[in-house]
Amino acid sequence: MLGILVAAAALSIPRATWQYFGLFTTLVHELGHAFAAVLSGRVVHGIRIRRNHSGDALSSGRGTFGTVVSGVLGYPAPALVGAAQLWSVFNGYTAIALFAGGLVLLLTLLVIRNLFGALVVLASVAVSAALWVYATPEVQSYALLVLGVALLVGAVRGLVTVIGVHVRRRDQLLTSDAYLLYRRTGVPSVVWLAIFAALIGGCCVLTVMSYLGR
């Protein structure tokens, strides 16, 4: 477990590795927006991922409910996916989780709308395919454990970043989902930030409970 934590930290904390792994975290963030949009009856028009770790998930639909659901599930998405992957490994569903993740990534190619984003998705698909084809079940389990923990750390890192935008870099507020939700609903940004924090924190707590209860 210590080795898994060290490997996950090496992916998600140092700047040298985060510049690459952070792109995957951004992809999961935008997929969270897109998935929530579909579930709430909106139409997804496309996803873009940029080199500076920013992205867009464009969707349209009537009413405020779909906009709120889609807006809320961006920052918590990496934590939700990470927690789901860890739960799958703890309960013996590693192969299913790996297959489902690869399938989602393949389907994502249908909605990617920029070349760099397509390259990020293709690189993620290549890693998933290599694990599926060449890795032993044990290696697959360790890989998903590292990825799941790294996504949880990435989610916390994203939360700290967006809080920093509201506290110190208010000229960048248009990059914050919390601010965009405030403009859409009139509910203060701090409420949305608290919801992000509660969802991410809940995923971390449930992951620890799942590990202790396995």
Q: What is the pLDDT of residue 104?
A: 94
Q: What is the pLDDT of residue 66?
A: 87
Give the tokens for residue 147. Answer: 């990825």
The DSSP symbol for 112 reads B
pLDDT in tens, the chain (214 residues): 888 889 999 999 999 999 999 999 999 999 999 999 999 989 999 999 999 999 999 998 887 888 899 999 999 999 999 999 999 999 999 999 999 999 999 999 999 999 999 999 999 999 999 999 999 999 999 999 999 999 999 999 999 999 999 998 888 888 889 999 999 999 999 999 999 999 999 999 999 988 887 6
Q: What is the pLDDT of residue 1?
A: 82
Backbone angles phi, psi at 199, to 5 degrees: -65, -45
Amino acid letter for position 204: C
Give the tokens for residue 92. Answer: 């013996």
Asked if residue 85 lies in contact with residue 150, where contact means CB atoms within 8 angstroms, the answer is no
d(CA 136, CA 180) in angstroms, rounded, equals 44
CA distances from 32 to 120, 123, 135, 139, 211 (A): 16, 19, 28, 27, 24
d(CA 103, CA 99) in angstroms, rounded, equals 6
